[in-house]
Chain A
Amino acid sequence: MAVVRRGFAALALACLVTPGTGLAQVKPDAGITIGRQMLADDNPGELWIEQGKTLFHQKRGPKSASLEQCDFGLGAGKLEGASVRLPRYFSDTDRVQDLESRLVTCMVELQGFKRDDIVARAISPAGSNGSDIEALALYITSRSNGMKMSVSLDHPKEQEMYMAGEYLFFRRSGQTDFSCLQCHGDADKRIRLQDLVHMTSKKGVQEVVATWPAYRGAHFVVRTMQWRLYDCFWQMRLPELAYASDVSIALTTYLHYQGNGAVIKVPGFKR
């Protein structure tokens, strides 16, 4: 089936690049889009799911414990449907946490890892085997595949995080005068040939929240939402976004809530 689909895509690609077929209005990057779809049919990110599963159940760290007692909001070790409700407020830390900051909490509290060590390795070098957090975040999110994003703002701290995230989404600063809106506020926009997601539309933001963590083709590794946000701030010429910082969680809360109803399908596939 996949072969047939790929064959069809290849045929479509051939039609697009053949001159004189009357398709003058095709976007200049249409061929690239089709190529990406072909690659996504065999998403290498799938390999990270099994790795994440192993890491989750393995006894690891100074305390030689697994993550099976980690509570992602639905009870210890309960993963189905956990990520679609994140970020959320956790009473044990008295913080609103996203999936990745919650993982850090559990790796520190249950397994005895040092926070600084985990955070320093959280975003892996391009072309590497990836980090533990990247694999774990993908595995845990994949256990919500097919489920709908359903973040709630019932707790006052969740409401506060959401409002801060909204404020930050539109906050312009730095030598480029950018907020998120300058690149992600309109449909069908590109930076050079890279398509930009229209994140002030329901469809666009749902596409985002449904597809992270994702396999990033140009980096040959799985990337997470924390990485995605970090990389935007880098391009904006701002200082480095600290892993699992409140700004990252506020923006994630804002985006996930905006994307409520999106059906999770990870790993996504990005260029």
Chain B
Amino acid sequence: MNITGAALIMRLLERQGIGVIAGIPGGANLPLYDALRGSGIRHVLARHEQGAGFIAHGIARVTGRPAVCFGTSGPGATNLLTAIADAKLDSIPLIAVTGQVPRAMIGTDAFQEIDTYGLTIPITKHNYLVRSAAELLEVIPDAFRVAMSGRPGPVVIDVPKDVQSQTVDVDALPAPGVADSRPPLDASDVTRAAALLNGAQRPLLLVGSGIIAAAASGVMRRLAETASVPVAATLLGLGAMPAAHPLFLGMVGMHAARYTNLLLDECDLLVALGVRFDDRAVGKAAAFCPRAKILHVDIDASELGKIKQPFLGIEADVGEWLRAMLPQVAPRRRRAWNTRVRQQRAAYPLAMPGADDPRQPYGIIRHLAAIAGDDVVIASDVGQHQMWVAQAFPFSRPRQWLTSGGLGTMGFGLPAAIGAALAEPARRVVCVTGDGSLLMNLQELATAAEEGVNVTLVVLNNGTLGLVRQQQQLFYGARYHASHFHAAPDFAAIARGFGVAAYDLNETDDPMTALTESLRRPGPCLINVPIAAEANVYPMVPPGAANRDMIDDTNANGGMHADLSA
């Protein structure tokens, strides 16, 4: 058959199972949009390419499958960069297809020409500049293979406009790209690991997003239950173990409950599964788990020994490894260790002041959880509200929690929630956000209204860049600068202006009814929740400090804890 490059891309994307593409058309990807019009793929018109990128994030994060976004050349591509970089740090299979100026104009500083290939080298797993329509037959399936194989990640396919328009004679379409086979499991590694775990007195599991990417939550939980091993999670590992599980210790790191970090100090074996020892999780790396041997399992060999030298480092699919381990793990009660866990949990719990009051941060999150139930998907932006949700929301299943962990991108939440709602239309998606973060991709309210997605935005509105304000208070002698917003946008009015329903807790005596309605009415909705600017996230490990050196509102006196080396 004779087919254009653009139509070929659409056929190959359809064959990869892509049902929705978020993007924005422009001069250099018009042939692609012409072909999209005649395809079976639904297009979602974002209002900024970064929004398109994060809509694709939402789809990929909630389904675990690759998702696609489109942007044109030049500013279309540069606007996608933040979403691509975010996918790299959080290991999300994102595929960005960008338009490029025609081949003959590459290198001439043509209108909207930018070196997309060069710009995306450090923020992708791999990238392609397609030089002929025929190359697409290899490039598109290969891009999906790369995005899905091993540790997932983003791929960029840059397609010059004339390659999109070029016709090519195709005999047969290639098979869709699939993930490479996993590295072979070394049986002796499993035996050694099982011996380590069986011999440990105070073992502890630390699970990260690798557990969720490997769909290994169930087998991880069985192993923990069999050997009575408590489980802590990184920010992106939340949901791998139900929050209510008696063995679950919550999140580790900078804003963990104090007991969680203290127990990590006591453990004699840390079984680290699908984690990368990020500084926000481990604090000062040299002081992390000082009494423990580390058993580190990751699909990415370069993570073994990158930050912490493991006693035993194993390159493996963590699910396959856990399934091999399970029969070799001795059933144990570990009474002494679990008694110690209970004592520490009781002595140093997470304090949640205001948990009963829906006008306070912990209160709105706890009430939201009670009303929305386990089916809800929670997205967040980045800042204090993100940490409050991570601490207080009872996540019960993998892929329930969508947040920008590694890159920490403010503006992630709204478009990611839209993507999640598009992928899972039967669920309510709640984006807990802040007034600072929401303004960074506010324009996607138009996309939400247009698509009628079941997204509720809960805006914790403190009129500040809260986490910045908090750090200025604690570590810069309360010298506040550029962290307070003097203009106070009326978010409910703004939402209504976009055609999105809105509630404002400033304007009601009955916050519970407003919250309940905002979570139950079909279509997009915003609820403005004014909170005190002075509310801080506690406890907190000062940047660069050891995790045991947490501060809270009883010992946080500005400047005393400043260690600004990190």
Q: Do A and B bind each other?
A: no
